[in-house]
Amino acid sequence: MTAPVSTVLIRGTGLLGTSIGLGLRARGTTVLLHDPSPSAQAVAQDIGAGRAYPVDAAGVLIHDDGPSPEVVIVAAPPDVTGQVVVDSLRRFPAAVVMDIASVKVQIAADVAEAVSEGTITAQDAARYVGTHPMAGRERSGPVAARGALFTAAPWVVCPNEHTAPEAVESAEQLARALGATVYRMGAEEHDASVALISHLPQIAASLVASRLQETPAGSLALAGNGLRDTTRIAASDPQLWVQILSANAPQIVEILYGVREDLNRLIGTMEQPTAPGSRLDIAQLIAEGNAGQARIPGKHGAPPQAFAVVTVLVDDTPGQIAAVLADVGEAGVNVEDLRMDHSAGYEVGMLEISVVPGHKQELTDALTARGWKVV
Amino acid sequence: MTAPVSTVLIRGTGLLGTSIGLGLRARGTTVLLHDPSPSAQAVAQDIGAGRAYPVDAAGVLIHDDGPSPEVVIVAAPPDVTGQVVVDSLRRFPAAVVMDIASVKVQIAADVAEAVSEGTITAQDAARYVGTHPMAGRERSGPVAARGALFTAAPWVVCPNEHTAPEAVESAEQLARALGATVYRMGAEEHDASVALISHLPQIAASLVASRLQETPAGSLALAGNGLRDTTRIAASDPQLWVQILSANAPQIVEILYGVREDLNRLIGTMEQPTAPGSRLDIAQLIAEGNAGQARIPGKHGAPPQAFAVVTVLVDDTPGQIAAVLADVGEAGVNVEDLRMDHSAGYEVGMLEISVVPGHKQELTDALTARGWKVV
């Protein structure tokens, strides 16, 4: 593997910065790290994400005679990203500076403001590229980092009319080297997109999960995959999400107005469930949900496809799932998706294997012939 | 296997009625079916869920000299369940009559009303048991039915002060025979529980998915598991959900008031994201979501447990997942949960294997030694 770039500086060693460091080092890049938190930086170094960039006694980056970074990756918290980008453009006059914050308009505005204030020049600003790797986990911090975090993930690159083409090229090459798929779009389009596909689901999950705080345990024992799926991302980090939601507030609030309108209509209907037209209102909400849900693309960005599901009963003992899937593999059928169906109070599970519809019967026969209980 | 009951009549051959028929027939019970829709009934009979109960030319159930049902299972749409329960109590004076509708207070009220109107006697009403198998699928109709649908699922049984103990016993025995775990609670407690753990997630998923109707395809291409998970159940049947939400409207609307209050506070904050205290408000919503989410029990009703996740890179070709899991099985480690991590535009996937934390290192070593790329 050829290194996409010989030396990078990563400013910020949280989950994403550290993961980028691990991924680039594995590809032969020299990675320098800096984080204002010495402990976060120490963890990132310890797990092999790179070595420390030299700082003075006050913690300010200093030049030494080591290699100068060709690319500076700003992986700071969203709040301070703009400021660290501007500082990096000023401090490293030959480097491409890319950030990876999950909201893009504000950072670009911070850079433009620094130009108009004379902190940096327009030529400096041309070396800035806003990007957003759409990868993350419910967990955070360098301990959760992994070099393959970006494998198969979308990585949005948002150049504007001032961005130098070579800078865009560097950023995209780096994203591709880490295994990501590059999508290019404007900062406004990006922010509107993530408001809908990322920030709204986070808010909805938090609103639902928040209602469970006082629920009796006896009620929660009945919870199924519906509740689990809708609230999984409610486990996310409040400090990070405050910054993301604040930075994209104008885009999000427009969407929330629409949600509130639907919610108010639903509440009005549910207050008088026997009034004429009330059932139509409820049916319409669910039907609109059907229509929206059907538009979400499937695996690998393919159009949504109705896979056929073959469900196999498995004991909750080691090797059972493996044994089923070994037999699936021998049958020569590709597994498109997998799901364990959990339920409370029972030591047996249902393994749902999604396959292309044409292979369903073949797989069912093959598994039944091998003694599996296909249901 | 001993049949839990020798003869049952199932009134309504949708997904659940047909699945019960399949499950009971497999255990040796004689199953009679009736559905007002001849085509739904024909499908249920064709897939082996039971045989037709005799009806007259007008479609009304008639007595013949065949076996009389000991248990009548009312699996009609929620809207007409009360009426079919009362009809069944009147028509089969020796049978236990259980319904499986997902909202329970209204049905019990319908039965009580029939007693006070003199349609049935109080002795008749004592043979009624309200139940709710917490199993279902996004798909509906008899074609989606499967006998093992209830395996490992909770099945709530809601007796009231009028219910005969023998009737409760029959209903619970039948639920257990189908592999379900019985939870006994009052109808009010049941309805309040499902409003939170089932109806609220459905509404939230529909509200989020509804916003996607006009989203450009370019934005949806960036969708990840967060959006997919929060909107999966938005694919549910509008006709069924109108009935469920209407029947439980008083319980649901109370919860929606709380959601609206949180949403309004969030919107107020997001309209002025730089005002003092606004960040605290956002952080509080996310933190409350954390707290609620953490209360959802894990697999098999166990307390929530943080499983360790071992992530393996797999090619999207037949047999790859099987091969990984065969090696997991050989390592003697039990798989607690499985997840495929999908992303757009890439023919590679991440298989996330959840194991008890103490086995993580052992499994990582074992898989690495067998040549897998553990990330």
Domain match, A272 and A352 both: no
Q: Given A249, A290, A299, which is nearest B273 (Cβ)?
A: A249
Please tell me which residue of chain A has the smallest CA distance to B203: A286
Is pLDDT of B326 > 60? yes
**Residue A116 — very low, low, confident or very high, per pLDDT cuts 50/70/90?**
very high
Q: Are strands A51-52 and A30-34 parallel, antiparallel or unpaired?
A: parallel
Order of strands across the sheet that contains B348-355: A308-315, A348-355, A337-341, B337-341, B348-355, B308-315
What DSSP state is assigned to residue B199? Answer: I
Are A134 and B341 spatial neighbours (Cβ–Cβ below 8 Å)? no
Task: Give per-residue pLDDT as tens, A223-246.
Answer: 888 898 899 899 888 888 999 999
Q: Which of A266, A291, A316 lies at the terminal end of a domain, its last residue?
A: A291
Is pLDDT of B320 > 70? yes
CA A73: distance to chain centroid?
A: 18
Domain match, A270 and A128 both: no
Dist CA B306 CA B298 (whole Å): 9
Is pLDDT of A100 > 70? yes
Task: Quickly count: other Cβ atoms within 10 Å of residue B91's Cβ.
Answer: 16
How far is A320 from chain B, CA to nearest CA, in Å?
Answer: 7
**Residue B318 — very low, low, confident or very high, per pLDDT cuts 50/70/90?**
low
Dist CA A368 CA A364 (whole Å): 6
For the ranges A23-27, B184-188, B197-201, B219-223, the lowest mean pLDDT is seen at: B219-223
CB contact, 8 Å: A255 with chain B?
Answer: yes
Please tell me which residue of chain A has the smallest CA distance to B235: A290
Domain match, B313 and B178 both: no
Q: What is the pLDDT of residue A212?
A: 95
A104 or B66: whose pLDDT is higher? A104
Domain membership flag for residue A321: yes
Order of strands across the sheet that contains B128-133: B51-52, B30-34, B7-11, B71-74, B96-99, B128-133, B154-158, B181-184
CB burial of A301-339 (b: ≥16 within 10 Å; e: otherwise) equals: beeeeebbbbbbbbebebbbbbbbbbbbbebebbbbbbb
Task: Give per-residue pLDDT as tens, A253-268.
Answer: 999 999 999 999 999 9
Domain match, A287 and A328 both: no
Domain membership flag for residue B216: no
Q: What is the pLDDT of residue B279?
A: 86
Is pLDDT of B306 > 90? no
Q: What is the pLDDT of residue A138?
A: 54
Domain membership flag for residue A1: no
Q: What is the pLDDT of residue B140?
A: 62
State yes or no: ipTM above 0.95.
no
Domain match, A170 and A29 both: yes
What φ, ψ does residue A199 adopt, rounded to 5°?
A: -75, -40
Tokens of A122: 């327009």
Which residue, A207, A191, A196, A204, is CA-closest to A247?
Answer: A191
Is pLDDT of B319 > 90? no
Domain match, A151 and A265 both: no
Domain membership flag for residue B1: no
Dist CA A50 CA A44 (whole Å): 7
A50: left (phi over 0), alpha (psi -120 to 50) or beta: left
CB contact, 8 Å: A182 with chain B?
Answer: no
Sorted by sequence, the CB contacts under 8 Å of residue A302 that are 6+ apart come out as none
Order of strands across the sheet that contains A7-11: A51-52, A30-34, A7-11, A71-74, A96-99, A128-133, A154-158, A181-184
Indicate which CATH number applies to the domain containing A124.
3.40.50.720
Domain match, A259 and A180 both: no
Q: What is the pLDDT of residue B344?
A: 38
For the ranges A100-109, A172-181, B331-340, the lowest mean pLDDT is seen at: B331-340
Window 304-333 of B: residues touching A by CB (8 A cutoff) are 311, 313, 316-323, 325-330, 332-333
Tokens of A181: 């798929």
How far is B369 from chain A, CA to nearest CA, in Å?
Answer: 18
Q: What is the pLDDT of residue A311?
A: 80
B361-to-A334, B311, B331, B358, B364 alpha-carbon distances in Å: 29, 12, 12, 7, 5
3-state secondary structure of B332: coil
Domain membership flag for residue B240: no
Please tell me which residue of chain B has the smallest CA distance to A373: B148
Is pLDDT of A324 > 50? yes
Is pLDDT of A159 > 80? yes
A236: left (phi over 0), alpha (psi -120 to 50) or beta: beta
Would you call A253 and B233 a contact, using CB atoms and an 8 Å cutoff?
A: no
Task: Quickly count: other Cβ atoms within 10 Å of residue A238's Cβ.
Answer: 18
Report the residue of B156, B207, B269, B373 to disrupt the A interface, i.e. the one with the largest count of A CBs within 10 Å. B207
**Quick one: average pLDDT of B350-355?**
79
Mean model confidence pLDDT for chain A: 88
What DSSP state is assigned to residue A239? Answer: H
Domain match, A76 and A119 both: yes
Q: What is the pLDDT of residue A236?
A: 87
Q: Which of B186, B220, B245 lies at the terminal end of a domain, its last residue?
A: B186
**Residue A139 — very low, low, confident or very high, per pLDDT cuts 50/70/90?**
low
Of the ranges A268-282, B15-29, B47-61, B290-304, which is most confident? B15-29
Which residue, B121, B69, B60, is CA-closest to B98?
Answer: B69
Q: What is the pLDDT of residue B346?
A: 44
Dist CA A4 CA B262 (whole Å): 46
Sorted by sequence, the CB contacts under 8 Å of residue B95 that are 6+ apart come out as B9, B68, B69, B70, B71, B72, B88, B127
Q: Given B153, B204, B319, which is nearest A204 (Cβ)?
A: B204
Domain match, A153 and A258 both: no
CB contact, 8 Å: B122 with chain A?
Answer: no
Tokens of A127: 């070396």
Tokens of A128: 């800035």
Would you call A197 and B270 a contact, using CB atoms and an 8 Å cutoff?
A: no
Domain membership flag for residue B61: yes
Are B290 and A235 spatial neighbours (Cβ–Cβ below 8 Å)? yes
How far is A119 from chain B, CA to nearest CA, in Å?
Answer: 24
Is pLDDT of A300 > 50? no
Q: What is the pLDDT of residue A237?
A: 86
Q: What is the pLDDT of residue B343?
A: 44
For the ranges A213-217, A348-352, B100-104, B113-117, the lowest mean pLDDT is seen at: A348-352
Helices (H), B27-77: 38-46
Is pLDDT of A347 > 60? no
Q: What is the pLDDT of residue B43?
A: 87
Window 329-348 of A: residues touching B by CB (8 A cutoff) are 329-330, 332-335, 337-348
Task: Give per-residue pLDDT as tens, B244-279.
Answer: 999 999 999 999 999 999 999 999 999 998 888 888
Is pLDDT of A344 > 70? no
Mean model confidence pLDDT for chain B: 88
Residue with tokens 């979501």, as numbered in its chain: B289
Dist CA A173 CA A179 (whole Å): 10
Dist CA A306 CA A39 (whole Å): 48
For the ranges A202-206, A321-325, B77-81, B252-256, the lowest mean pLDDT is seen at: A321-325
Which residue, B193, B294, B302, is CA-closest to A345?
Answer: B302
Which residue, A47, A35, A43, is CA-closest to A73?
Answer: A35
Sorted by sequence, the CB contacts under 8 Å of residue B100 that are 6+ apart come out as B16, B17, B20, B73, B74, B75, B131, B132, B133
Is pLDDT of B129 > 60? yes
Tokens of B116: 């006070």
Domain match, A287 and A312 both: no
Of all residues in chain B, the percent with pLDDT exceeding 70 is 91
Would you call A213 and B181 a contact, using CB atoms and an 8 Å cutoff?
A: no
Q: What is the pLDDT of residue B28?
A: 94
Helices (H), chain A: 15-26, 38-46, 78-91, 105-116, 122-125, 165-177, 187-194, 200-210, 217-220, 225-231, 238-247, 249-271, 278-293, 320-330, 360-369
Domain membership flag for residue B101: yes
Is pLDDT of B345 > 50? no
Domain match, A267 and A334 both: no
**Quick one: average pLDDT of A329-348?**
65
**Single-letter residue type at B6:** S
Would you call A296 and B185 a contact, using CB atoms and an 8 Å cutoff?
A: no
Is pLDDT of B334 > 70? yes
Task: Give per-residue pLDDT as tens, B154-194.
Answer: 999 999 999 999 999 999 999 999 999 999 999 999 999 99
Task: Give per-residue pLDDT as tens, A277-299.
Answer: 888 889 999 999 999 998 988 64
Domain membership flag for residue B260: no
How far is A71 from chain B, CA to nearest CA, in Å?
Answer: 25
- Range of the structural domain that residue B94 is part of: 7-186
Domain match, B11 and B147 both: yes
Task: Give per-residue pLDDT as tens, B77-100.
Answer: 999 999 999 999 999 999 999 999
Tokens of B107: 């049905």
Q: Given B183, B210, B323, which is nearest A329 (Cβ)?
A: B323
Are A224 and A346 spatial neighbours (Cβ–Cβ below 8 Å)? no
CB contact, 8 Å: A139 with chain B?
Answer: no
**Residue A137 — very low, low, confident or very high, per pLDDT cuts 50/70/90?**
low
Tokens of B247: 């029947």
Indicate which CATH number applies to the domain containing B328.
3.30.70.260
Is pLDDT of B342 > 50? no
Identify the H or E element spanning B340.
strand B337-341
Total domain count, chain A:
3
**Residue A374 — very low, low, confident or very high, per pLDDT cuts 50/70/90?**
confident
Q: Write out chain A residues lying below 8 Å of B340, CB-based.
A: 335, 337-338
Is pLDDT of B323 > 70? yes
What φ, ψ does residue A308 adopt, rounded to 5°?
A: -85, 145
Q: What is the pLDDT of residue B341?
A: 57
Task: Give per-residue pLDDT as tens, B48-57.
Answer: 899 999 998 8
Identify the H or E element spanning B260.
helix B249-271
Identify the H or E element spanning A350.
strand A348-355
